[in-house]
Structure 1
Amino acid sequence: MALTLPQNIALPGRLTARPSLLAAATVLLVCVPTGDKDVTAAVHVTAADLASLALVGTMALGLLRGRLPALNRTVCVLFGAVVCSAGVATVHSIDPMASVTGFVRLVQVFVLVPAAVLCSLRDRRDQQLVLGSLVLAALVQGVVGAKQFLTGTGASYTGQPIRAIGTFGALDIMAMSTVVCFGLLAALALALGERGPGGNRRLRIGCWAAAGFLVFPLAVSFSRGSWIACAAAAAVVLLRADARLALRGAVLAAALGLVLVGGLGLGGSGVTNRLSSIGAVSDTPDQSVTDRYDLWGTAGRIWQDHPVTGAGPKAFQQLRDSHAPLRLSSGSDAADSQIGFTREPLLSPHNMYFLVLSEQGLIGVLAYLALFLTLLVNCLLRVGDSATKGLSPVGGTARSPTVDGPRLAALGLLVWVLVDFLYADIGGTTTVLTSVILGLAARTALPGPNAGEAKQT
């Protein structure tokens, strides 16, 4: 028997008409400073988490009342597989009680919030709203990060307080570069989507300007992982939009880098040294790279002991010392003006795929890879479809875009996440943004038969 809710249970009218506002709020609230709180704690609830839970609740009520279209069957199967794999791993965990919090977090990040974002994106304008919030959040963090570098008030890097960290603090050192990357890729894709005779010239110029500015704070974040993921995602976006434009973009990026780093000297030595260290990771890697390799090996040894269902969510940190080599560091250094100097323990393998393998086994890896690859392949196939079908903007006139901006942005953001997962995993203030990206990608990859056609009552 179908479960329905009484029609006199009312939600705020604005949220009912445009629930993507909550998704956008989730993105923007990531910028709220958390002070010196430990973002790696087992239970750490941020303002963005609360907004995402409000979005989940709003979408759940909408589905129960029949005001939203049913989820695509494939989406349900993929999300259901992730829930089942996490549940099985929790039941067979070495410490089921400790794994419960990990199970809840996994379901929130990879199922509930992405599904809620997917349901909230009813039309093109909803997608633009969420993507616009990513750009705005990136600009806020970029301005703060650029100021930190220029005034020497950031986190410590090579003994100097010049590393751009935005409003997040040294305990969440990767957060600012993550937000900036998301905004840069969203702005780039939206700018490319506005090319053509029917494009919005002001929006195109604004997005190009935003993307160009965000290159600088990304550079002075000194985050090698973010650089690599952003370069890969930007290459996919440009190649999918226009191969010739991709070549011109590579030349322009190189020229811009020479001007900023070589000509103006902005972060020159730090950026150059950091770039050169990327090529040295297989020859003479620094301690952070060596530790990462050791953590990957540790995750592999844990998986060998628990091959099918894994050791259970949150089990890696319990089993790390018994499986890690003696040379593994006790933690990574962090320092800024607020927290002083501290060492953060290495509680994860810094690779999402190895984390899933060690904690959820082969069942978990298959479930996550099925989700990620399905989204990636379908995003690649659907980007550009709108151009051939003569898509029109909401409330606008017919246009002839070279590619659909929101779909292209979803593809680029998804590529960033999947590449970043090669040397990072979930954790920290910006984790909820990963959920938003997966929801955007799911809307592009698997829109369903009634996408954008919410039932009116």
Structure 2
Amino acid sequence: MLLRLILAVPIVLMPNLLYLPLDTGIPALNLANLLLIAMVIALVLSPRDQLTSHTTGVLTPPLVFLFLAVLIGYLIAVTTLPGDSQADITALKNFVFPPLFYFVYRRCKQDLRGTRQLIYLCLAVVVAAGADTLMQGLANNAFASYSETNRFAGPFGDYRSANRAGVFFAMFLPMFVAYALFLRGHKVWTAIAIGGCVIVTMAIMLTYSRQSYLIAILAVALLLVRRHLVLAVLLALATIPAISLLPEGVTERVAGTQQYTPSGRAQLDVSTASRFEIWGGAMKMWQDHPAGVGLNRFPRKIGEYSDYSDFDAHNMYVLMLTECGPLALIAMLWVLWRMLRLALALRRSDDGSDAEVNALGMGFTVAVIAMAMGNLYGSPFHEGLVMANFWIMCGLVERYTLLKRHAAIAAAKASDTPRLDLAQAIAGRYPLSERILPGRYRILSK
């Protein structure tokens, strides 16, 4: 029980670190790192975990490959274009640190009940963050009209962090939708999941993140099609007239993607257009530096290839390619593929009779897709505030899968036991039965 409480602390605190700043002055030793160290110590001191001690994690090989590729990018940076050493170490830490939670929670030594409770806690923290964002927005009448400074990010910071908050909510929304759609026979939990959908959806609206709007819509559509194709089509048809019912600020934000010049010619807004120019410059940068310009060097170099100096790539795949080279991009894509394999393994761990496994498996599958999409228009993959709880969820889902498989194997063995006991009972009660009916004991034992 004590270990479970220790494991619960990072789940609650990681998305809320900005509310609890603790800077020791050492780049590699802040509150998040201290939490990870405390958990590792607790796991080492607790009894050995037989479930995962002799198996390799689904995400272990690609993550090790990714760490090596990022380390090479770090070495390229410090040798070819030296800069702020503390900033470089922090950038390296930001890539390596959040995925470590996957390893910790995969080996968290919890049984099926404890693992399920930690998964629900992850989702509860998402709802709490969504409620925080919603209260901020309602207090400032944010739905009335849109402005760049009137965007809200809850525990993730001010309006400048709204995009990362939107991605966080959008990648967990599918799990609430999946529980609402597929958790049959659990009316209370279904109602709670619907409530979570409402809160998280409203939080996404208040971030005014257009990429998060798109991710949320596509994620819900995928789950609806999986659940009921006819219902999905009807809802899609009802969406067009329902747009007018959305808050005015949301419709303003979406409509602002396309703007018009004084002559009436349509054009993209500055934010969208700048990304295309940055990506074009990034491709030129990669052509000049096929092995990458080095970790944390993209902002310093992009000004040489575009009109946007000291800008982020706004695309994690572009950032990985240009900073750490093709190997890093391959490693990241391998990680995403293994996440989908992990989701598939969870769905295959049951014969379809367990509604909870089905709901969790479907929700996590679409959540992985949503997370991958969230890095197309931004680069939150290496940000602990956004990704830490997702890595934790990956570890918990893998453990949950292993526990379900173990339970299924134990149940299959138990189902054979009565037949063996019957054969032993007959042989024990009637010693001459084996002589009278040769092979009978062997048949009963099969």
Q: What is the TM-score when the length of structure 2 is the normalising length?
A: 0.74
**Aligned CA distance change for structure 1 residues 155 and 95 (closer, same or farther; 3 Å):** farther
1:387-419 Cα offsets, whole Å, 9 max, x none, are: 52534xxxxxxxxx3961222222122111100
Inter-partner Cα distance in structure 2 for 1:436 and 1:227: 24
1:8 aligns with none
- Report the counterpart of residue 429 of structure 1 in structure 2: 385
Distance 1:420-1:63 versus aligned 2 partners, 3 A rule: farther
Contact 1:89 1:359 in 2 (8 A): yes
Tell me how far apart the structure 1 counterparts of residues 162 and 20 of structure 2 sit (CA, whole Å). 12
**Residue in 1 that maps onto 2:320:** 356
- CA 1:359–1:430 in 2, change beyond 3 Å: closer, same or farther? same
1:431 Cα offset (Å): 3.7
Distance 1:135 1:438, change over 3 A: closer
Letter in 2 for 1:150: L
Return the match for 1:176 from 145, 148, 165.
165
| Corresponding position: 1:390 with 2:317 | no
Query: What is the aligned partner in structure 1 of residue 395 from structure 2?
Result: 439
2:124 aligned to which of 130, 136, 139: 136
Q: Could you say which residue in structure 2 is the equivalent of 1:319? A: 301
Structure with more of its chain in helix, by fraction:
2
The answer to whether residue 288 in structure 2 is matched with residue 305 in structure 1 is yes
Give the letter for the 2:67 counterpart: V
> Residues 28 and 205 of structure 1: is their aligned pair in 2 closer, same or farther, counting only changes over 3 Å?
same
The CA distance in 1 between the partners of 2:28 and 2:254, in whole Å, is 33
Residues 352 and 159 of structure 1, relative CA distance in 2, 3 Å threshold: closer
- Pairing of 1:216-227 with structure 2 (within 5 A): 216-227=202-213
Which structure 2 segments of 5+ residues have no match?
A: 410-446
- Residue in 2 aligned with 1:398? none
* Cα separation, 1, equivalents of 2:55 and 2:295: 27
In 2, distance between residues paired with 1:53 and 1:153? 42
Deviation at 1:228, TM superposition (A): 1.4
**Mapping for residues 181-330 of structure 1, pairs under 5 Å:** 181-195=170-184, 199-247=185-233, 250=236, 258-259=244-245, 261=246, 267-268=247-248, 270-278=249-257, 284-308=267-291, 310-323=292-305, 325-326=306-307, 328=308
- In structure 2, do the counterparts of structure 1 residues 231 and 421 end up closer, same or farther at CA, with 3 Å as the change threshold? same
Partner of 2:337: 373
Assess if the C-alpha contact under 8 Å between 1:387 and 1:403 holds in 2.
Answer: yes
C-alpha offsets along residues 136-194 of structure 1, whole Å, 9 cap, x if unaligned? 23333333333333332769975486423223223422343234334532221222331
Report the counterpart of residue 32 of structure 1 in structure 2. 16
1:63–1:69 CA contact under 8 A, matched in 2: no
The DSSP-based 3-state class of the residue aligned with 1:92 is helix
Change (3 A) 1:74 1:201: closer
SS in 2 for 1:284: strand
Kept in 2, the 8 Å contact 1:148–1:164? The answer is yes
The CA distance in 2 between the partners of 1:304 and 1:387, in whole Å, is 48
Change in Cα spacing, 1:414 to 1:374, as seen in structure 2 (3 Å) is same
Q: How many Å separate the matches in 2 of 1:240 and 1:101?
A: 42
8 Å CA contact 1:189, 1:405 repeated in 2: yes
| Contact 1:153–1:161 under 8 Å retained in 2 | no
2:64 maps to which of 47, 66, 80: 80
Partner of 1:163: helix, strand, or coil? coil
Residues 78, 370 of structure 1: 8 Å contact kept = yes
Aligned-partner SS, 1:302: helix
Q: Distance in 2 between matches of 1:108 and 1:404?
A: 31
SS at match of 1:120: coil
Is the 1:136–1:183 contact (alpha carbons within 8 Å) kept by the matching residues of 2?
A: no
Alpha-carbon deviation of 1:22?
4.8
Offset, 1:372: 1.0
CA RMSD of aligned residues (A): 4.0
8 A Cα contact 2:98 2:391, kept in partner = yes
Q: Distance in 2 between matches of 1:411 and 1:277?
A: 32
Q: Which residue of 1 aligns with 2:424?
A: none
- The alpha carbon displacement at 1:356 in A equals 0.6
Specify the alignment match of 1:342 in structure 2.
none
How many Å apart are 1:64 and its aligned residue? 7.4
Contact 1:155 1:162 in 2 (8 A): no
Q: Which 5+ residue runs of structure 1 have no aligned equivalent? A: 1-12, 262-266, 331-344, 392-400
Q: Aligned partners of 2:40, 2:96: CA distance in 1, in Å?
A: 12
Instruction: Indicate the SS of the match to 1:174.
Output: helix
For 2:20 and 2:357, locate their aligned partners in 1 and report how far apart those are by CA, in whole Å: 43
Determine helix, strand or coil for the equivalent of 1:173.
Answer: helix
When the two structures are superposed, what TM-score results if normalisation uses the length of structure 1? 0.72
Take 1:49 and 1:201, find their aligned partners in 2: how far apart are those partners? 40
Give 2:11's aligned amino acid: V
**In the aligned structure 2, how far is the partner of 1:102 from the partner of 1:284?**
36
**Contact in 1 for aligned 2:15/2:389 (Cα 8 Å):** no
Distance 1:384 1:415, change over 3 A: same
% identical equivalent positions: 20
After superposition, give the CA deviation of every residue in 1:228-263 in whole Å (9 maximum; x if it has no partner): 12222223333344434544554676676554x2xx
- The amino acid that maps onto 2:324 is Q
Distance in 1, matches of 2:164 and 2:368, equals 17
